[in-house]
Structure 1
């Protein structure tokens, strides 16, 4: 076995990993104890990375270039020369007829810095348009705009080390325990070491993060500015602002002071739905603590006023001097593994390399000189939402989508799907060929992914880490940067710029690209001219700035009180409360808040391949307050139609104590590959912030009604490990085939269950479960041989059961009409045994599970497969958390489940 150090490909914490591999295959992964982001820890997602690269996952990979000869035709395998020549010809023809702004690239925060750099150079340098945007627009662009507006540059001033130094930590707009678990482990350690440290959580929901807080402010969605202005009002009234710091290092305070005078705690409390005393307490903690740190994410960013959400929070740090010293400052938690790296190279439609401003002629001239082109376009390109609107209207004719899945992740999904359908030519460059966007690809280009790529990424604390390849690329997959370089040379020839393209794209390795990017930062705020691949290899991750001659990067910025603004002063931004893009009404009476699950990531193109990552929340669920459920006569597990002004989705409903009445919550991960419609984001508005262009993905107004039409269907198939060490049938191949069934049903859910032997689970409700449909489905599940299956049907009672038992294992089952025993049967399949009760039940008119045979409940600890019911039984029996952890090991590995274990214990003992 060989080991290779690399970096996790999920969130912006940027954890170091050690990849174990043998004979060209990844066999295991563990945390890198020397990496400063995680010191060996991994969350549930990172700890299962090797399972996302298991042999069976090749069924989900894009392995060969594929080209569609015409709309409506199936793609056919082609060679790389044909693929890239076709791409170059189509792009060149469109540019010649309609101009460079008729083409666009839409990328991802998962690309490596080197990939980003060549894409940026291709679009803004060779093609001559600024139509390059990425999915970082959906998660981090308001943080970018907020930092620039308030502090002068897109530079997070803090580091993870500040968590251990702070006296008061404000987590706002972030369920850190779920979204950034390893950062939350640091919070837990800091509080244990410093019991007097205060944790304040500002979130509409009582999340696992909020459960751990000393003070939880459950404000109404989108009312953050009113809260922060009221806190500043209190600070001014009580004399808690730092007048010396304000006068020496800031500007604009007087204008802001006039505004916040109106934001009394009582007035803000009525807006936010908070008690004024809670606002006053939060203000006191923030202003009077020796060091105050704030950490924030999408709950601030994903609003149509997200930039001002960020600036309103930063205003508090500036007013109290809580910045530029250990344990103090505003710390944006990056959502993606390399959103920071993309921002560093100018990888958005309004940015240029090395934090240069597109509106600055001198900055454009510097980039043009670096790239060897006459000029760089001055007009900002289309941001994410604008780009897909332009595709639909025909203003943009062709789009190249790389390493992202807009047909799942963007808001207003109906518009996005119409746009992709309307586009003249769609290129999708992707490692996973099963994503919703790949269905629209006229040209599919197979790319490498984690474990195969080589380059760098930058995490939330400005630390640059090496990403290293452990195994060769499968099939004909190529590195993203190499695809771009090859295409650029071919396009240059067709644009009559062959010599220019050859000069611009001479790269034979990612290190050559890195060296050029490094030089572009010389003298800039993010100067990394002192860094090299060799240094990163020997010394490990390094924070920027790291200029030539430096011995180390900077742990925190602005310690001298000097900011990268024209006058060297930070700016107070005058912020006023604004209402959300849409408000509840008689027709749409509920707030819908979106967010993340603990064990899934983004659109699930990778985590969705790992069965155990479904065990904490196994399918799409709408979380609702019990009072709202009672008004609609809903019970746990009932089907509901959730409808907004743009579309609707069918989900099961789950009672949740985390929400106040009038609000509901849905995880954002589920797309058309897992549901019967276009996915969760069909509900959400495309309204965006005027400064950052970030859409309001966090909130919508919806109606919820019970759905009882049609008949229920559940189909499940278990995979076994064969003598060849592979799973049979391949669960991912089966899922791919079953996805074609989803549009047949108003409600459908397609997921995985289990661990070593995954179970594919299809749940649906249809108006007409015709015999022909069921027969075709039975063939997919190996339930079509009457000599091998057990079958029971009673049309009068709407009971139809069919099952395949192999040895002592329930291998497949299909229930139609009545599905009350589905969860129990799923547990039997996952556990891999079939008691006599199962056979008896299958051949009888029973619909309920046998007495005493209830399902075991969701899995709380994924590392050691410990379920909620077992944990609750232990606490009810008087077992302590320490004793439970000693006996079951739950919460002793990655620690992601520890907040929930504490909450369950508190619920039993309080």
Structure 2
């Protein structure tokens, strides 16, 4: 596969989730970046989701960190690197190697990850390097290692298309891994007999392709699969040949499973005995079964046990490693898997070797020719930041992640960074909630400028190739780490001048002393040249020295990586429910939305990605909202002993009573008080150290706003309202506002908000009795800004109002129309945006439905909605269903 399709087009890999989609990036003559899916890439075959399609809109230099900074002031690279190296060296000399730490990220490339891990574990001599991947998939790692003896994902994406039954547990695939969702949907359309079961407390958009939805209690997953294991045995569906030949510990695991009857499992899962029996029968009677799981399983205080409960069921039936069969962990970050391969977790060594294994430590130390090697696991993420806060860690280097927003008890992370004597942050952004606490800021390369490799959820390694020059003084992460390593006295071991040299060393280590004893082996590439590296095609590991690249599954014939080469059944008990606290009656679940990702440092730049959900919200059951006096679209305050947040109330029966869902994306740059992870207690899985980000207890009450506002404006506003949420719009910004007290002068408030120096008159309408105010400023034919204020949530169409920033206003009646907040007959209101790819709104879809479009395909033919990435197809179907019901009435 050529790295370039044409002189202007480069083959690279998407920067978002762990699907690892191939991307064709084209620098157009206008300077814009054209993005298309790569039809040759085996992960996506040309498909992209809404986020991937909009990558070209996120690579501008606004907000970029373009030079090193010390104490907020520009500095040279030499000065900054000297300070980082000397500060770490002095700290190590005075307090020992465990007094320093790296906190890294699944957004690093494998080469970056490798060099950071080598420096910390092999030369500094501490294992205090952990990654934000700890927050998303470390329970999968722990579960794999307990069962298989290695962190091996057995199957491939093709299994999703070959399966006759797919279980989606703890995974909103339609929004979080849309391309995999589309592959399953396409396979189901070809083979309607395929069945999909969604196991999730919420009825998410993934339910669109589900034949069965099990609305499981939070943390009920372990009990469900324990019950399934017992049912498998009771129905004589155990594959005795596989179990006897390739596994151990089955009787111990079954003893626990058999002690729980259907009634007990029903009580623990919240699923009726009848529905449990239907699900269990479906599993036992279907040979080709894939269980896809993600954060909903992993992000739990019992996440590792949940993973092993799932694996136990596949081992018991021998449904692993064969086409269309197996447990399948899908990761949330573009290179979470690459980080696992190089030992980016504090309890692992490079090349999937085990830090607790003396033989593995000797292999790595000998290969690196390092003066030392970390002899015990380092601090995992939660413990690491606790150690920073208590002063045990005195120098911290954060790379490509934003822990002030993503860690549990996030306000304590703020305190830790404030009290840490020396904090270094490598990032592409000059300002986010973490960079503001850095003593030294280092400008890193961003997607589009980075050169290296990533590994996706099916073990496929792909090249990420640059198609943009490095801006300003930005440098690749591997280069930055290498420069510090040299200044620490380790120049001979860090000679790298190109990422290909690092990849070759990484590949050579994977084969060092291996001889088939470890799963991860890519030593076929240990002598790769720069030219070969540039042209490297996506391949799946393992690929040992002298072997051709092959598609491969693991474990159909055993050959596990345990000492006796047998898989281990793990006896698992159901997760115990937390004791109820009457102060905090609701279970809070955090997660993602369709068009945003992580803490929005990339997706927040795109107007069309912000159009679907432009502000933080809480999904609340309407009955719970009624009891607490919360109206739809009003504001709600959620809180517990860790703090409070204020978000918009979204009432929906998709959410069960007693439960609340809040996205994890919003931060201090996009909302006044919506960092939801500060409400999450730092409870962790005792084995994996992964925090229980899906489970917090909160109280809920209305935010008693005296006024609500909505505004669009050209310039980025500076607001201090009691509630605010900012989003990109074409031509400017859109802003939600609310306050506890009304300003004395609304006109002055509007002028300050719009931030314009123009002396153009303010067009205004005030109704003091009704509490309604509307103010706008035009500069010649251009709208500078408009603000709508009311005592209730403002009802103006947000998408229509935002469009006004892009239109000319030559006539006065057009200006008054904007002030009125209503489009004219010649300006139809498209409604809230549903299809981000083509900007199609809810009203447009509903109108098409009323005019005869009765299917998602018909809507696509008429409006194009749902025909690009397909992420909105489930939402379109929901609108169609509603429209048909209304028409029938």
Provide the secondary structure at the position in 2 that maps to 1:337. coil
Rounded Cα–Cα distance in structure 1 between residues aligned with 2:186 and 2:711: 44
How far did 1:466 drift? Answer: 0.7
Give runs of aligned pairs for residues 633-782 of structure 1, distance below 5 A. 633-677=629-673, 679-718=675-714, 734=716, 738=718, 741=719, 744-753=720-729, 757-768=730-741, 770=743, 775=748, 778-779=751-752, 781-782=754-755
2:777 counterpart residue number: 804
Rounded Cα–Cα distance in structure 2 between residues aligned with 1:906 and 1:841: 33
2:307 counterpart residue number: 310
Rounded Cα–Cα distance in structure 1 between residues aligned with 2:498 and 2:788: 54
Q: Cα deviation per residue 1:530-582 (whole Å; 9 max; x = unaligned)?
A: 134666655621100000121123421112222111111111111111235x4
RMSD of the alignment, in Å? Answer: 2.3
Cα distance change of structure 1 residues 901 and 751 upon mapping to structure 2, 3 Å threshold: same
Provide the secondary structure at the position in 2 that maps to 1:59. coil
* Alignment partner of 1:788 is 2:769: no
Rounded Cα–Cα distance in structure 2 between residues aligned with 1:774 and 1:158: 62
Provide the secondary structure at the position in 2 that maps to 1:810. strand
Cα distance change of structure 1 residues 285 and 669 upon mapping to structure 2, 3 Å threshold: same
Rounded Cα–Cα distance in structure 2 between residues aligned with 1:317 and 1:825: 48
Rounded Cα–Cα distance in structure 1 between residues aligned with 2:29 and 2:380: 43
Q: TM-score, normalised by structure 1?
A: 0.91
Alignment partner for residue 30 of structure 1, among 14, 36, 57?
A: 36
2:25 counterpart residue number: 19
Rounded Cα–Cα distance in structure 2 between residues aligned with 1:606 and 1:886: 31
Rounded Cα–Cα distance in structure 2 between residues aligned with 1:825 and 1:8: 30
Alignment partner for residue 329 of structure 2, among 327, 332, 337?
A: 332
2:504 counterpart residue number: 515
Rounded Cα–Cα distance in structure 1 between residues aligned with 2:851 and 2:825: 22
Cα distance change of structure 1 residues 221 and 821 upon mapping to structure 2, 3 Å threshold: closer
Cα distance change of structure 1 residues 778 and 425 upon mapping to structure 2, 3 Å threshold: farther
Q: Cα deviation per residue 1:246-292 (whole Å; 9 max; x = unaligned)?
A: 11111111111111112212111111111112212222222221211
Give runs of aligned pairs for residues 41-80 of structure 1, distance below 5 A. 41-53=47-59, 57-68=60-71, 75-80=72-77
Alignment partner for residue 527 of structure 1, among 515, 521, 530?
A: 521
In structure 2, runs of 5+ residues without a counterpart are: 1-6
Rounded Cα–Cα distance in structure 2 between residues aligned with 1:11 and 1:825: 29
Rounded Cα–Cα distance in structure 2 between residues aligned with 1:90 and 1:837: 64
How far did 1:900 drift? Answer: 1.9
Counterpart contact for 1:6–1:468, Cα < 8 Å:
yes
2:602 counterpart residue number: 606
Counterpart contact for 1:364–1:375, Cα < 8 Å:
no
1:284 counterpart residue number: 281
How far did 1:123 drift? Answer: 0.9
Counterpart contact for 1:714–1:819, Cα < 8 Å:
no
Cα distance change of structure 1 residues 260 and 76 upon mapping to structure 2, 3 Å threshold: same
Cα distance change of structure 1 residues 434 and 775 upon mapping to structure 2, 3 Å threshold: farther
Cα distance change of structure 1 residues 550 and 635 upon mapping to structure 2, 3 Å threshold: same
Rounded Cα–Cα distance in structure 1 between residues aligned with 2:878 and 2:786: 36
Q: TM-score, normalised by structure 2?
A: 0.94
Rounded Cα–Cα distance in structure 2 between residues aligned with 1:146 and 1:466: 29
Rounded Cα–Cα distance in structure 2 between residues aligned with 1:251 and 1:298: 28
Rounded Cα–Cα distance in structure 1 between residues aligned with 2:418 and 2:182: 44
Q: Cα deviation per residue 1:407-439 (whole Å; 9 max; x = unaligned)?
A: 111111111111111111111100122321111
Q: Cα deviation per residue 1:329-370 (whole Å; 9 max; x = unaligned)?
A: 011001111010000000111110111111111111111111
Rounded Cα–Cα distance in structure 2 between residues aligned with 1:772 and 1:515: 66
Task: Number of aligned residue pairs: give it.
Answer: 867
Provide the secondary structure at the position in 1 that maps to 2:61. helix
Provide the secondary structure at the position in 2 that maps to 1:530. helix
How far did 1:852 drift? Answer: 12
Rounded Cα–Cα distance in structure 1 between residues aligned with 2:798 and 2:654: 30
Provide the secondary structure at the position in 2 that maps to 1:427. strand
How far did 1:24 drift? Answer: 11
1:725 counterpart residue number: none
Cα distance change of structure 1 residues 587 and 868 upon mapping to structure 2, 3 Å threshold: same
How far did 1:374 drift? Answer: 3.2
2:3 counterpart residue number: none
1:726 counterpart residue number: none
Counterpart contact for 1:650–1:746, Cα < 8 Å:
no
1:624 counterpart residue number: 620
Alignment partner for residue 898 of structure 1, among 868, 873, 876?
A: 873
* Alignment partner of 1:399 is 2:428: no
2:864 counterpart residue number: 889
Cα distance change of structure 1 residues 784 and 583 upon mapping to structure 2, 3 Å threshold: farther
Cα distance change of structure 1 residues 634 and 528 upon mapping to structure 2, 3 Å threshold: same
Q: Cα deviation per residue 1:201-260 (whole Å; 9 max; x = unaligned)?
A: 111111111232111111011111111111112211111121221111111111111111
Rounded Cα–Cα distance in structure 2 between residues aligned with 1:649 and 1:821: 21
2:89 counterpart residue number: 92
Counterpart contact for 2:463–2:536, Cα < 8 Å:
no
Counterpart contact for 1:307–1:689, Cα < 8 Å:
yes
